[in-house]
Amino acid sequence: MKILVLGGSGYIGSRLCAALAASGWATPVSASTRRVTPGVEHRRVDTRQLDSLTQALHGIDAVVNCVAGDANSIAQGAKTLAEASLAADCPRIVHLSSMSVYGAQEGQLPEQAPLDPAMGWYARAKCEAEQHMATFAQAGGTVVTLRPGCVWGPGSHLWVGRVGRWLRAGRLGDLGAAGDGWSNLVHVDDICNAIIAALRIPLPEGQLRTYNLAAPDSPRWNEYFVDLALAIGAVPVRRISTLQLKIDGWVLGPMLKVAQSAISRVSRLGHTVPDPMSPGLVHLWDRHLHMDSRLAERELELKWTAYGTALRQSALWYLQSDGMPGAHRGAAVPVPPS
């Protein structure tokens, strides 16, 4: 079985290619415009160009859509994928969506909760992409849409590397009521296992299944920030006031983003600018959305990576890659029991 992985050089895509190669039942083909994943067949594909994508899909049994990027790459890319899959007679798409499709809703949300694109360009693009997947299913294809929460684990620059740097800089810590939202963390390997299960689950033509993906033991943001801070040695853990958080997100965040973009255009030193903190993130940390992932547990037979295990792996990766100068690489990292 040959699986085309769109976005195969990204964080989830590259890890998925390795998992598929090790599975023994499928051969991954990495599709991207960037670097080649070592040991994996690569096809250079522009996912927004119908001819390019259709050609890449010939001889492919199923495709996994891990494409990230701007709104056009997400939404228009999904439309092009649906059209190309029909043209190339590729019967199945596994599509990675996001919890952002639930918008501002709170509480424990199952997959049947209505979509709400009102939370910005990313939510709108993800909602549009899901609509294009539904169109593909209506035309006779089969689709499994996965809605992950915040994907973490070793290699996660967004939810481990960036958060760790904020903790060490004293910009994050115990946020009080502003950090009492649910994190909806999900380990990257659990995402890969869900994708493989979605590729293998028997589905008739024209079927669309949707699954939330968030570990049931994922904590509130405050707990995660404190646990990660202790694990990487970012102590003492600071109590961050609401005023400081708002200044960082609403005032400094946009300024740092502009500076980062400007420097990146003229040199490779954009990474030297402190990580911007966006208003959207500040809002996320106090949002009481708790994704209900029991359907994925039952139908995809998922077994979640324990929080303590994921924290240990994440902290070790951080110390080996993004730690402060002088950090003892490979040191034992204390974590709370799982």
Q: Computed from CA positions of residues 45, 47, 49, 51, in that sequence, does the dihedral angle turn out positive or negative?
A: positive
| Helix (H/G/I), strand (E/B), else coil: 17 | helix
Q: Which residue has the tokens 């669309």?
A: 208
* H/E segment holding residue 80: helix 71-87
Q: Structure tokens of 28?
A: 């991954």
pLDDT of residue 321: 85
Q: How many CA atoms lie within 13 A of 192 on its CB side?
A: 23
Average pLDDT over residues 212-216: 97
Q: Look at 268 and 318; give whichever has higher pLDDT.
A: 318
Q: Computed from CA positions of residues 157, 160, 166, 172, in that sequence, does the dihedral angle turn out positive or negative?
A: positive
Mean pLDDT of the chain: 90
Largest separation between any pair of C-alpha atoms in the chain: 58
For the chain, how big is the Rg over CA atoms in Å?
Answer: 20
> What's the rounded Cα separation, in Å, for the pair 113 and 104?
12
Specify which of 32-46, 47-61, 259-273 reaches the highest per-range mean pLDDT.
47-61
Give the phi and the psi of residue 95 in degrees, each rounded to 5: -110, 125
0.85 cut: is pTM over it?
yes
Average pLDDT over residues 209-225: 97
> Looking at 51-141, which runs of residues are DSSP E strands?
62-65, 92-96, 107-109
Specify which of 38-42, 126-130, 277-281 reaches the highest per-range mean pLDDT.
126-130
pLDDT tier at 46 (50, 70, 90 boundaries)? confident
Percent of the chain having pLDDT more than 70? Answer: 93
